[in-house]
Amino acid sequence: CGGSLINDRFILTAAHCVEDKQLSIYEAVMGVHNVAKVGNSNPTDLTGEPYGQTSKISRIKVFKNYQSGSMTRNDIALLKLATPVKFTKQVSPVCLPVHQNVYSQAPMDSVVMGWGITETGSPSDVLKEAVLKVINADQCRKESQYPAGQITDEMVCAENPGKDSCQGDSGGPLVVKGTSFYTQLGIVSFGNDCAKPGFPGVYTSVPSFVNYIYTVTRGGMYCKNPNLGQ
C-alpha cells in the first residue's frame, strides 16, 4: 500500500491497508523513487544527499466507523511514525485542504501516484502517476455504474479513459498540483477492476475528514492550502 506524509510524525493511508493491527508487520519507507532500492544502505541521489528514510510504526488509528467489504465506508487511517521524519527536498508533507467545499470546482485535473499494477499486469518498481479528472460524489452516482448506495458523500471519484489507480496503489494520494506544492483530495480506496469503462476509481474524500485528521494529529498538519475550496 501507499500513503502520504502529512507532517513529521503521521502518514495518511486507507483503513483497508492496515486492518491487521500488529504494528511489527509495518514499516514506512519515504523518499525512495525506485522501490527495488529499498533495503540498500544509505541510498543517495546524484548530489550525494541521502534521501531514503524508514521508520517503524508506533500507532495505527483507523476511523471508528470504517466499514469494509462490498460497501466500503470511511476508508481512512493514520499511522504514527516511531521516528520523526527529517524533511528534505525529497521528503516533505503534502498539503491538505482546509475547506470542505473543494468539489465545487470539480471537474478538475488531479494526479494519482503509486507503485501498483500497470498495464503489464505487474507492480512497478518506480513511482508512476496518472492524470485523472475528479468528479464529485453526486456526479459519480449519476454517471457511473456502481450499485445504488455504494458511493457516499465521503467519497470522490476520478477517471480518464485507459488510466486509473490499481491493485497496490491503495492508500496512496490523489492530489492537485500547485505551483510549488501538492494538495491531497483523496485516498485510493476501491474500484471495479482497473480503468474499466463506467467504473471510475473511488477515493476517500480527504476534505470530509480534515477535522478528524486535525484531532488525531493534535493540529500537526504542516501544510494547509486555504486557497483550494474557497
Assigned domain for 223 exists = no
Q: Clarify whether residues 71 and 140 are in a common domain.
A: no
Conformation bin of residue 193: beta by default, left when phi > 0, alpha when psi is -120 to 50 = left
The four Cα atoms 164, 204, 149, 161 give a dihedral, to 10 degrees, of -20
Q: What is the pLDDT of residues 158-200, one digit of tens each?
A: 999 999 999 999 999 999 987 678 899 999 999 999 999 999 9
The C-alpha atoms of residue 1 and residue 188 are separated, in whole angstroms, by 9
Residue 82's domain is classified under what CATH number? Answer: 2.40.10.10
Range of the domain at 20: 4-92+210-217
Residue 122 shares a structural domain with residue 202: yes
Q: Please give the single-letter amino acid code of residue 152.
A: T
Q: Are 117 and 203 found together in one domain?
A: yes
Cell numbers standing for residue 116: 501498483
pLDDT of residue 50: 56
Q: Are residues 131 and 61 in the same domain?
A: no
Residue 10 CB-density burial (10 A; 0-12 exposed, 13-18 middle, 19+ buried) = buried
Catalytic residue among 16, 169, 189, 208: 16
pTM of this prediction? 0.90
Domain check: are 203 and 112 in the same one?
yes
Residue 144 falls in the annotated catalytic set: no
State whether 191 and 118 are in the same domain: yes
Read off the pLDDT of residues 204-218 as tens digits, 9 standing for 90 and up: 999 999 989 989 998
Residue 228 domain-assigned? no
145 in any annotated domain = yes
φ, ψ dihedrals at 142, nearest 5°: -75, -40
Residues 85 and 47 in one domain: yes
* Mode of pairing for the β-strands spanning 224-225 and 96-97: parallel
Has residue 41 been placed in a domain?
A: yes
Look up 8 and say whether it is catalytic. Answer: no
- Please indicate whether residue 16 is annotated as part of the active site: yes
pLDDT at 107: 67
Looking at residue 229, its pLDDT comes to: 44
Beta-sheet strand order (sheet of 4-5): 4-5, 10-13, 77-81, 53-62, 27-30
- Identify the active-site residue in 4, 55, 144, 170: 170
Cell of 136: 464529485
The catalytic residue among 4, 55, 75, 165 is 75
Does residue 86 sit in the same domain as residue 108?
Answer: no
Residues 116 and 134 in one domain: yes
Q: Are residues 83 and 122 in the same domain?
A: no
> Are 125 and 203 contained in the same domain?
yes
Sites in the chain below the pLDDT cut of 70: 39-51, 99-101, 103-107, 179, 219-221, 224-230
Cell output for 204: 476517500
| CA distance linking residue 176 with residue 95, whole number of Å | 10
Tell me what pLDDT residue 48 has: 43
Report the residue count for the chain.
230
> How many domains, in total, are found in the chain?
2
Say if residue 192 is in the same domain as residue 129. yes
